[in-house]
Amino acid sequence: MSLSYSSYGRIRAFFLLLVLVILTTATLSGCQVNDPPDSKIDSDIEIVSKELIEVPGQNPNIDIYKLFYKSDDIKVLAYLTVPKAPGKYPLVVHLHGGYALERKELSHNNDFGFTFGFKYMSDEVVYLYPLYRGYLESDGHVQGIAENTRDADNAIKVAISTGRVKPDSVYLLGASMGGGVALRLASERQDVKAVVGLSPFVGWDVNLRWLDEHPDVTSPEIVEENRKLAEYVRFGLINVNPESKGDYSILDRIPDIQAPVLLLQGTADESLIWQTVQDFADDMEEAGKTVKLVLYPDGNHGLDDMYEDQRNQEVMQWLHTYGLPKSFVLQ
């Protein structure tokens, strides 16, 4: 049995923090880079191919690469931008939303609607867009947050292997399910400078706890959706395979999160229970972590509504505070 967690999944536009160009309909021209395929980075990861592409109207001061790499021996797609000027730069990792549960029937999930704003990319940072297995041209099928985290971590290794990333300067921006990936990565990597979670999925453990504490709450509709899926996670996944419990958890990773975390959440979110984000922020605060939660009354999932400008200002201020160049501007 396999259920989608579409209520966490389909953020309507990938991260919604940039003026976007639809990649899947853009005209791209590409050429192979002379990096040898299958070049080993470490025992966990290898680059399969790396192609220099061009997007009409792109920032002329950056190079854009379409690359495939191995993660758990699965070929995964990522996009990488690198300034043409020599030197080392901070790494900004954009982590898209998706499904928070395995979907074996979804492979090369091309109807997801990924969009990218390469023409607006700063030439003072390296950008990385991991696509995870099962999405777009990546091999494998759509899986859960644990596998997505491994794919993103391996993509970061690829980016660092270019020699163009400034040490200890990784910034994670995650939306919806990608927000959960960002939080898990921040618990695993010590080079993360700051985290932004937009309408973030904060783990099944937090959802199960909130639902157990509010058994009589039945509205809005997303609460009942979550209740059904949570029971599947509890009884259909964790009880059957208890050692996999950590795959669905973020709460128990809070002690290992050292980077400052910004959480942006609307109270009219149609895709997740917004109070779970409040609970997660409270738990981080109780653990003595640096966390800021901004709640937007009646804001939707992704905050691409009346709060779009405020959302972008909050993100920029947070990232600038923790060292990202002032040239980094969200359009």
> Residue 20 pLDDT more than 70?
no
pTM (whole model) above 0.85 = yes
Cα–Cα distances in angstroms (integers) from residue 118 to residues 3, 12, 149, 170, in the given order = 34, 19, 23, 19
DSSP 8-state assignment for residue 238 = I
pLDDT attached to residue 116: 63
Q: How far apart are CA 171 and CA 187, in angstroms?
A: 13
If one compares 81 and 57, the residue with the highest pLDDT of the two is: 81
Q: State pLDDT tens for residues 190-238.
A: 999 999 999 999 999 999 999 999 999 999 999 999 999 999 999 999 9
Placement of tokens 């059904």 in the chain: 228
> Residue 184 pLDDT more than 80?
yes
SS3 state at 159:
helix
Q: State pLDDT tens for residues 308-322.
A: 999 999 999 999 999
pLDDT attached to residue 21: 30
pLDDT attached to residue 38: 37
Q: State pLDDT tens for residues 65-92.
A: 999 999 999 999 999 999 999 999 999 9
> Residue 118 pLDDT more than 80?
no
Where do the structural domains in the chain lie, given as residue ranges?
A: 6-321
Q: How far apart are CA 179 and CA 200, in angstroms?
A: 4
Average pLDDT over residues 1-16: 38
Q: How far apart are CA 80 and CA 68, in angstroms?
A: 11
Predicted confidence band of residue 120 (pLDDT cuts 50, 70, 90): low
| Residue 244: both structure tokens together | 């996999």
User: DSSP strand E in the chain: where?
Assistant: 29-32, 39-42, 45-54, 62-71, 74-83, 89-95, 103-107, 126-130, 141-142, 165-175, 192-198, 261-266, 291-296
pLDDT attached to residue 14: 33
Q: How far apart are CA 155 and CA 170, in angstroms?
A: 12
If one compares 28 and 325, the residue with the highest pLDDT of the two is: 325
Q: How far apart are CA 99 and CA 209, in angstroms?
A: 20
Predicted confidence band of residue 121 (pLDDT cuts 50, 70, 90): confident
Q: State pLDDT tens for residues 91-114.
A: 999 999 999 899 999 998 876 655
Average pLDDT over residues 28-47: 50
pLDDT attached to residue 112: 60
> Residue 52 pLDDT more than 70?
yes
If one compares 98 and 17, the residue with the highest pLDDT of the two is: 98
Q: What is the CATH architecture of 6-321?
A: 3-Layer(aba) Sandwich (3.40)
Placement of tokens 């041209």 in the chain: 137
Average pLDDT value for the chain: 86
